[in-house]
Chain A
């Protein structure tokens, strides 16, 4: 069975096009569930009106589906709980210019 960390690692390579920070560091990955070859990924966006939402969603789907051992991929948007800045990692805060 594919490890959750493997999924998370591949998602760290998907960057938000505006901020240049990975969607994992931005706290946009809410949930990862692996059952055999079935992978479900719950994503949230920094704002519901983010026009890049569909592109990011499709990118996650493509990247996860390309992993060996993945048979089906379900990527969905999850608004509850909504994204808050508390979800930014220390690395993301540093990249946004607030912490050194």
Chain B
């Protein structure tokens, strides 16, 4: 358990570095947000968020949560460390290569990331396969492992395709397929499952209707399969139908998550859970944008270009970053507490895990991040770079607050004086 906590903390440390680097890239490349979605600078920014911050934080969560979620030890912990090394090297190579427009190096960095992600998928699949009982949460982890493999294979082929054409048709189409496989297939599927382990744990609430959880997951999976074909075959009606199917699945999950919140025994909803719920709200906005883009693909270049960037921005920096950042606020203090104070419980006074973070810094991250989202969206809506600079700079400030908070928490790993606020034995 202690080794697993160290593994996850390592991943979260990596996520912390990217949490600062990604919005800094946003500030430097703000005008690129007003261009095409396939602009290499925008691709660098997207991968800094999706693989750098979200990927690192999500794998940190997976390697800690998977075993408790499915009741089975992680099949190969050593493989998870190898995955971490490949990811730590591969992502910066990819991002730097995107910035230089060098797609051979994108493919090289992407190969490392892809091999790591395939190892992670295998590790997850074998762990889930060994579990005695498989509920909707276990299935969600399993599906997300499958989509993770599909995402990295599609991404690798896209990078190779720039130098040596291997994909049929338009590469923009395959870029959309790759993006939806990653965002909906891997991240949203995972959150659809993990939320029903985490929310009850953090709020002392109950999942009342497991059928609704399973049904939400089923709709999302069916919708995603259909959407991928609809995008690949360029069938607008099918894009709307399958996009709406995904939306319906997510609405079912959101409805059940809300019933967990309503049944909570811990009255105060803390910042981590609020951020997670705000992420769900941002997701609803992204879905509306996505359906509008599917319904009116020829509404004009301005709408299509800014709309596509806004859609990706709200989904990634809005929905996913808020949800994952919120969960980090809950999981990181707990992991630090387990590693530092767990071994001395029952022997001497220790602080509470919930007292390790700074509530002020948590709120600062959350509120500044929300403000930054609004400013960037204003910039996209008005096609004005100053709003984009202001928005990304505000998100950098949010990230600094988050890093200070997590640094304060991590400081406990080396702290000698063990008392702080609460006391457990």
Residues of chain A touching chain B, judged by Cβ–Cβ distance below 8 Å, are 10, 13-15, 17-20, 46-52, 54-56, 58-63, 66, 85, 88, 93, 96-98
Give the chain A neighbours of B352 by CB distance below 8 A.
15, 17-18, 20
Instruction: Please name all residues of chain A whose beta carbon is closer than 8 Å to the beta carbon of B338 when the two chains form the complex.
Output: 51-52, 55
What 0/1 readout, one digit per residue, does chain B (61-84) give for beta carbons within 8 Å of chain A? Answer: 000110011010000000000000
| Contact across chains for B201 and A49 when beta carbons are under 8 A apart | yes
Chain B residues, CB < 8 A from A97: 266-268
Report, nearest first, the 3 A-B pairs whose CB atoms are least far apart.
A97-B267, A59-B345, A62-B346
- Whether the pair A51, B334 counts as a contact (CB closer than 8 A) is yes
User: In the bound complex, how far is the Cα of B266 from the Cα of A93, in angstroms?
Assistant: 8
- Given A49-B68, A55-B345, A60-B346, A20-B197 contact (CB < 8 Å): no
Supply 21 A–B pairs (Cβ within 8 Å), ascending by A: A13-B425, A17-B337, A18-B202, A19-B204, A19-B266, A20-B352, A47-B200, A49-B201, A50-B68, A55-B338, A55-B345, A58-B346, A59-B346, A60-B346, A61-B346, A62-B347, A63-B347, A66-B346, A85-B265, A96-B266, A97-B267
Identity of the chain A residue whose Cβ is nearest the Cβ of B341 in the assembled complex = A17
User: When A46-B204, A51-B334, A97-B267 are in contact, do A14 and B68 touch as well, CB less than 8 Å?
Assistant: no
Our count of residue pairs bridging A and B at CB distance below 8 angstroms stands at 90
Chain B interface residues toward A at CB < 8 A? 1, 64-65, 68-69, 71, 197, 200-202, 204, 265-268, 334, 337-338, 341-342, 345-347, 352-355, 422-425
Q: Which of B1, B265, B353 contacts A96 (CB 8 A)?
A: B265
Residues of A within 8 A of B71 (CB): 48-49
By secondary structure, the A interface counts as loop
B425 and A63 contact, CB distance less than 8 A: yes
For B65, B352, B425, which residue has the most chain A Cβ atoms within 10 angstroms? B425
List the A residue with the shortest CB-CB distance to B348: A62
Bound CA span A66–B423, Å:
18
Instruction: Check B204 against A85 for contact (C-beta < 8 Å).
Output: yes
Query: How far, in angstroms, from A29 to B315 measured CA to CA in the complex?
Result: 44
Cβ contact within 8 Å between B422 and A15: yes
Q: What residues of A have a CB within 8 angstroms of the CB of B354 in the complex? A: 17-20
Question: Are A63 and B346 within 8 A (Cβ)?
Answer: yes
**Which one of A13, A18, A47 has the highest number of Cβ atoms from chain B below 10 Å of its Cβ?**
A18
